[in-house]
Amino acid sequence: MNIFSDELLKNIGLISVITIAALVSVLLIALLLTYLMFRNTKIIKFINNKVSSVVLKVLLDILDLMYMPAKKITITLGGNDMMTDVVGTEIRNILFKNTFSRVPYNERIIVIPQCLRSLECPAKFNSVEGAKCIECGKCKIKEISRKAKELGYIGTYIAPGGGFVKRIIKKTKPHAMIGIGCPYEVNLGLLEVSSKGIPCQGVTLLNSGCVTTDVDLNAVFETMELCKQKEK
């Protein structure tokens, strides 16, 4: 004996098809917008300044919720697999910029990936604080570390691997954070940190990889110096 009538089953089937079609359509529209933003990141600023930041927030929510399908569709269509992460990072940077800028320098930390170190890095690793840069000058971390000291940041931390950000946030209790890394790491890192209510900014590496990567120092310094008081 059928528990559900044929008509009820038909309606459930119809609603399921309509829901799936609606979700796929929303994702495709979001991906089209993401593609345009990836080709020209100025569009993100334009939408934020001239249209509404709500559009960016909605797009970001869709990309976060449908992260894996969005990546799979992008790759299937022959697109850049970093597209979602690059655009996600740009949007988060714009949305959090003001709140980040209001946090004094001495309440911020900066987290750097260990792949930015020289292969001959003499720094020793500490399980809680990561690698401690001794500013030997063999990589750009020396400049970043000096700048952080000059501005009065809580600290510059070199992440040895996954889970480090959580540990260092627990230890240093910052009110704002800058993360450097490949687009994937930065995008998901910003998502995690902002979900804890900590305003953050990300700077993506110039070349991704597991060793001797590179970063634009001017972009890092510009982000480190973001400060609302200075703008007044």
Task: Identify which of residues 56 and 116 has a Cβ nearer to ligand SF4 in the complex.
Answer: 116
Q: Does residue 211 belong to the site contacting ligand SF4 (CB under 6 A)?
A: no
Q: Do 187 and 92 meet the contact criterion of CB atoms below 8 Å apart?
A: yes
Identified binder of ligand SF4 from the candidate list 82, 103, 139, 190, rule CB under 6 A: 139
Q: Which long-range contacts (CB under 8 A, 24 or more apart) does 220-226 make?
A: 220/144, 220/147, 220/178, 220/180, 221/147, 223/178, 224/110, 224/144, 224/147, 224/148, 224/151, 224/153, 224/178, 225/151, 226/97, 226/100, 226/101, 226/201
Is there binding between residue 138 and ligand SF4 (CB under 6 A)? yes
Q: How far, in Å, CA of 138 to CA of 173, rounded?
A: 30
205 binds ligand SF4 (CB under 6 A): no
Please tell me whether residue 136 binds ligand SF4 under the rule CB under 6 A. Answer: yes
| Residue 208 engages ligand SF4 in binding (rule: CB under 6 A) | no
Does 108 help bind ligand SF4 (rule: CB under 6 A)?
Answer: no
Eight-class DSSP state of 1:
-
Give the binding range for ligand SF4 (CB under 6 A) out of 31-39, 130-138, 167-175, 185-193: 130-138
Contacting range for ligand SF4; rule: CB under 6 A; set: 85-93, 132-140, 189-197, 215-223? 132-140
Provide the strand spans (E) within 127-211: 130-132, 155-159, 176-181, 200-204
| Residue 58 lies near ligand SF4 (rule: CB under 6 A) | no
Q: Is 137 in the site for ligand SF4 (CB under 6 A)?
A: yes
CB of 225 to ligand SF4, least distance (A): 21
Does 134 bind ligand SF4 (CB under 6 A)? Our answer is yes
Of 129, 131, 97, the residue nearest 231 (C-alpha): 97
Token pair belonging to 7: 């008509």
At residue 153, the 3 state secondary structure works out as coil
Q: What SS3 state is found at 62?
A: helix
User: Is 133 a residue that touches ligand SF4 (CB under 6 A)?
Assistant: yes
> Would you count residue 117 as binding ligand SF4 (CB under 6 A)?
yes
Give the binding range for ligand SF4 (CB under 6 A) out of 65-73, 75-83, 118-126, 173-181.
118-126
Residues that bind ligand SF4 (CB under 6 A): 117-118, 121-123, 133-139, 141-142
